Structure 1
Amino acid sequence: MNAEKRREIFRRFHEDNPEPKTELAYNTPFELLIAVILSAQATDVGVNKATAKLYPVANTPEAIYALGVEGLSEYIKTIGLYRGKAKNVIETCRILIEKHGSQVPDNREDLEALPGVGRKTANVVLNTAFRQLAMAVDTHIFRVANRTNIAPGKNVLEVERKLLRFVPKEYLLDAHHWLILHGRYVCKARRPQCGSCRIEDLCEYKHKTSDD
């Protein structure tokens, strides 16, 4: 895909949604961090339902740590893999309290040292909470980048690096949100809605569908 096509794709994304946001509910970097840890192999809707009950009771490292694994599990047991996630969150809270003055680090090295935080989670926090240029490639972004030919790659790291290189600079900060939303609601895994897609004429997918 050439640079002109990419620029027009992101221009349209921006035109349709000038200030895209994550669908995870949060008010602080800490709330975002915990929500992203909980969102692994789970839906944002499911995570939001759990945190809507949790955060009014506990939304700081100290408060969640005080719940302990069992106490936290009661709030998040509707989320897949909740037992492992509860252990990771409690341990993450302990590290934040002991090593970071209860603040969420704003750098990749410290974020990735937290239990349950991999490269993708760190990228979400860096981009969304701290507005740094980072590209969190989830299954939606991986699919859209390859299917459209915006930034094809064999693995998530390759796609991440290509997106950082190919997305026009003025759109890079919000590109991650546009691509996730596009993959979630339009360029769906089983049947992309090509007929009603804003960028169908620019997309290089060879097996486009009609909406009927």
Structure 2
Amino acid sequence: MNKEKRQEIFERLRAHNPNPTTELEYNSTFELLIAVILSAQATDVGVNKATRKLYPVANTPEAIYALGEDGLKEYIKTIGLFNSKAKNVISCCKDLIEKHNSVIPDNRKDLEALAGVGRKTANVVLNTAFRQPAMAVDTHIFRVSNRTKIAPGKNVRQVEEKLLKFVPKEFLLDAHHWLILHGRYTCLARKPRCGSCIIEDLCEFKDKTSD
């Protein structure tokens, strides 16, 4: 795909949704971090249901740490992998309190050193909370990048690096949100809704549908 096509694709995505953001609900960087940790292999809808009950009770590292693993599990037990997530979140809160004065780090190295925080989670926090040009490639973004040929790659890291290289600079801060929403609601895994797609004529996917 050439740069003119990429430019036009992101211009249309921006025109359609000028201020994209995550569908996770949060009111602080800490709440965002915990929500992203909980969202691994779970839906944003499911995470939001849990955090709507959790955050009014505990929404700081100290408050969640005070709940302990068993206490936290009561709030997140509807989310997949809740046992391991509870362990990670409690460990993460402990690290934040002891090593960072309960302040969320704004750099990759310190974020990825926290329990439960891998590269993708760090990228979401860096991009969404700190407005840094990071690209969190999940299954939706991986699929859209490969299908459209915006940034094809054999693995998540390849796609991440190509997106950072090929997405026009003016769109880098919001590209993650546009692509994830496009994959979630239009470029669906089983059957993309090509007939309803605002970038269908620019997309280089060969097996387009009429939906």
The alignment's TM-score, normalised by the length of structure 2, stands at: 1.00
* d(CA) in 2 for partners of 1:180, 1:25: 16
Partner of 1:91: 91
How far apart are 1:138 and its partner, in Å?
A: 0.3
* d(CA) in 2 for partners of 1:132, 1:169: 12
How far apart are 1:37 and its partner, in Å?
A: 0.2
Partner of 1:158: 158
Q: Which amino acid aligns with 2:182?
A: H
Partner of 2:52: 52
Unaligned runs of 5+ in 1: none
How far apart are 1:97 and its partner, in Å?
A: 0.1
* d(CA) in 2 for partners of 1:2, 1:140: 22
How far apart are 1:161 and its partner, in Å?
A: 0.4
How far apart are 1:118 and its partner, in Å?
A: 0.5
* d(CA) in 2 for partners of 1:127, 1:172: 9
Partner of 1:206: 206
Partner of 1:114: 114
Partner of 1:191: 191
Partner of 2:72: 72
* d(CA) in 1 for partners of 2:101, 2:116: 19
Q: Which amino acid aligns with 1:205?
A: F
Q: Which amino acid aligns with 1:20?
A: P
Residue 173 of structure 1 pairs with residue 173 of structure 2: yes
How far apart are 1:36 and its partner, in Å?
A: 0.2
Partner of 1:147: 147
* d(CA) in 1 for partners of 2:95, 2:119: 18
Runs of 4+ in 1 over 4 A off after TM superposition: none
How far apart are 1:130 and its partner, in Å?
A: 0.5
* d(CA) in 2 for partners of 1:118, 1:154: 19
How far apart are 1:33 and its partner, in Å?
A: 0.2
How far apart are 1:149 and its partner, in Å?
A: 0.2
Q: Which amino acid aligns with 1:168?
A: P
Partner of 1:21: 21
Q: Which amino acid aligns with 2:180?
A: I
How far apart are 1:116 and its partner, in Å?
A: 0.8
Q: Which amino acid aligns with 2:47?
A: V
Partner of 1:127: 127
* d(CA) in 2 for partners of 1:51, 1:196: 33
How many pairs does the alignment contain? Answer: 211
Partner of 2:6: 6
User: Residue by residue, what CA displacement relative to the aligned partner does 1:68-120 show, whole Å, maximum 9, x if unpaired?
Assistant: 00000000000000000000000000000000000110000000011111000
* d(CA) in 2 for partners of 1:196, 1:49: 29
Q: Which amino acid aligns with 2:173?
A: L
How far apart are 1:141 and its partner, in Å?
A: 0.2
* d(CA) in 1 for partners of 2:13, 2:142: 17
CA RMSD of superposed structures (Å):
0.3
User: Residue by residue, what CA displacement relative to the aligned partner does 1:11-67 show, whole Å, maximum 9, x if unpaired?
Assistant: 000001000010000010000000000000000000000000000000000000000
